[in-house]
Structure 1
């Protein structure tokens, strides 16, 4: 490994050394690729600020493959159990008495996670980490991307050629724009703010999520005793937040059912947020080019899926293209395989997220499932698997799952009616 480029060509150039880019660099290099990993920021400790700071359980196998699980636990990462408030009560997923523990991954602040995975990439043989290098354009020949033009820390411009260029540079991906990859944008009817608090006790010491229809909130315990507390109201509340951000934030939290005692906690960060966070979807490939993480698909932050999908998409890409990227096989065919996997695994999730981002109350199907999950442990576990992105919408809303939810609610209604008659 070196932190400077020798000027030789690479098999892969990756723009963005955050979660998706660093993971892709490690996984590709382990499969024999020579990787130039470019990061526009010069500080190796740089990190993404606006994030749920949670990695969903679908990404645990990727963390394991990267060898990061022991390091995360040493860093104080918290296994991300959670309970969810609904108008029918709390949904509290628990492992079955005779079954395995619930799947999990971790809550960890990006100020810890990003430097950790970036340093792991820098230590990986075959990865050249180029800090302070910003992509300013692409090198294209005969209709395909064959490299990048980037500025170095001293302001000079250099050209780095490769068989494959990967955009891991976030929702506003410069790589995608330079390549002319169109983006479909979907309006988000909510805005969001978060802050970090110390000494904020939560029931059971686990995450709490509030579905207030249409407003949302969550509190996720993280490393070092810090809890990330976020509010995601519908945009009708935006004028009040603009007039008094701190007061509106705290009033929103105080009004939550079973609200965490925010007034007795210590706020250890600024209020961080955005008033406009649309969802984006892009075709994840073009000739000689691939997109991973938010560059390919930016979901609604209220679901906390971005980190998990960043890691998963990095793995899907490495599995598909490692051979062709090193000259062994058809790269275009491999990229097509990656695009199919990406679409098959994420398109349905994004479809439902786009619909819910309209900041509407629950629809009839959601009412059926959420109410049953508040009343039945098996349905709650089913919801946990979906929230962890271990199953897709097809299984989550399968006929058998909906039938089970309907039976649960009928039994609840009959029991309630019996109690009234007896009274």
Structure 2
């Protein structure tokens, strides 16, 4: 059965994917006067992403604030994401400067809480039509550009036309595939498994991460008293690890410095993981198409940046295209120019971070500059704060490795005689 085009309305923007990036973009666009069709292939409004760090870095706090989600997150029990990180030089423990402001923060919150919350907000936003059970099967094209999507629905096939198609459909983006956007893929030398636990106390009650060179692990306290615990070992360990997943996971955690008491905790989820998680980089625009979140850039999950970048890219897109997106007022040339603006901002803000992540995903020990900066951060409060600002993606690689910062790191480590 095919539903004729006349059975459905026309939109300014159609977004494929109603997860974090898609719902945020729909809300922000609609509040700026853009008519949005928000498509979700799953029929359950409570659906959520399972494989995730369940952490939103501090760079995305302004987006949460603009969305109006901060009070709802606090009420839902989201945990402000302070953190400490183990290195061979000791623990990096960022603290606010004496008499200074608190360190910026994001939130740790399970996607089972977050995704339905933001999707519900999108559905309640005037100008957004949330269409569940709508899976994109192709693009509608005219004169070499996308002018809508073809979708499969419980009622049959249909076309939804719009001036702009947004792919918010994850690392294996169907929109990117149909738009023939080239993908650069980079191998990840680690695999990862995580599980959710109750009654798992952490030092100071805050997130922990372990840089074991090359192995990694992290533990993040989340809403409802649940802690997400993940291990990311080198792929050389995979064959032995898979022989006894639970036993290998527990053994890995027990061996961590200041290991959380996992044997007395209650596991409340299955083990969730992936043995192959490459990093993807795509051009964030094509004619009539924009990509946000993991659809545009999928980074190494060990850094926990996916949620923050999903929110930020949604905001960047809305700010760039909203004036030109409405069919009643916008010109195609203006829309194309706004997409160029979005693409430039995306590349400028995220390319450097991704390049460093790609390099470290080779599963290797720290290089000389990394040793310099991590050692100094473990030894000096100011350098620990500097590291925190970078880890929270509030500053970029150029500022993180500025001459002033590197000079201070050298001075700190010279006083300690080695790094």
Q: What's the counterpart of residue 215 of structure 2?
A: 215
Distance in 1 (alpha carbons) for counterparts of 2:311 and 2:227: 23
Deviating above 2 A after TM superposition, structure 1's stretches of 4 or more consecutive aligned residues are: none
Give, in whole Å, the separation in 1 of the partners of 2:68 and 2:154: 31
Q: Which residue of 2 aligns with 1:420?
A: none
Find out whether 1:117 has 2:118 as its counterpart: yes
Describe how 1:303-342 pairs up with structure 2 within 5 A: 303-326=303-326, 327-329=329-331, 330-342=334-346
Counterpart position of 2:61: 60
- Work out the number of aligned pairs and report it: 410
Cα pair 1:150 1:159 within 8 Å, conserved:
yes
Per the TM alignment, residue 411 of structure 1 is displaced from its structure 2 partner at its CA by 1.1
1:374 has 2:378 as partner: yes
Aligned to 2:38: 37
SS in 2 for 1:359: coil
Residue 88 of structure 1 pairs with residue 89 of structure 2: yes
Aligned to 2:356: 352
TM-score normalized with structure 2 length: 0.97
CA distance in structure 1 between the aligned counterparts of 2:398 and 2:41, rounded to whole angstroms: 39
**What is residue 233 of structure 1 aligned with on the other side?**
233
- 1:391-410 aligned within 5 A: 391-410=395-414
Indicate the SS of the match to 1:323.
coil
Unaligned runs of 5+ in 2: 1-5
Match of 2:13 in 1: 12
Q: Which segment is superposed worse, 12-21 or 238-247?
A: 238-247
Q: Would you say 1:383 and 2:402 are equivalent positions? A: no
The CA distance in 2 between the partners of 1:120 and 1:153, in whole Å, is 24
Match of 2:379, SS state, is: coil
Partner of 1:406, secondary structure, is helix
User: Is the contact between residue 12 and residue 36 of structure 1 (CA under 8 Å) also seen in structure 2?
Assistant: yes
CA distance in 2, matches of 1:292, 1:182: 15
> Aligned-pair distance for 1:344?
0.1
How far apart are the structure 2 equivalents of 1:31 and 1:241? Answer: 50
Cα distance in 2 for partners of 1:8, 1:272 equals 40
* Partners of 1:6 and 1:262 in 2: CA distance: 55
Q: Distance in 1 between matches of 2:242 and 2:259?
A: 23
**1:6 CA displacement:** 6.0
Q: Which residue of 1 aligns with 2:129?
A: 128
Query: Within 5 A, what are the aligned runs for 1:184-263?
Result: 184-263=184-263
1:88 CA drift (Å): 0.4
TM-score normalised by the chain length of structure 1:
0.96
Query: What is the SS of the residue equivalent to 1:325?
Result: coil
Counterpart for residue 72 of structure 2? 71
Task: Give deviations 1:154-204, integer Å, cap 9, x for gaps.
Answer: 3x0010000000000000000000010010000000000000000000010
Mapped to 2, the partners of 1:105 and 1:87 lie a distance apart of: 27
Aligned-partner SS, 2:86: strand
Distance 1:409 1:393 in 2: 20
CA distance in 2 between partners of 1:169 and 1:338 (Å) = 18
Describe the SS at the equivalent of 2:324.
helix
Deviations 1:359-412 (A, max 9, x none): 000000000000000000000000000000000000001111000000001112
Deviation (angstroms), 1:413 = 2.1
Contact 1:42 1:153 in 2 (8 A): no
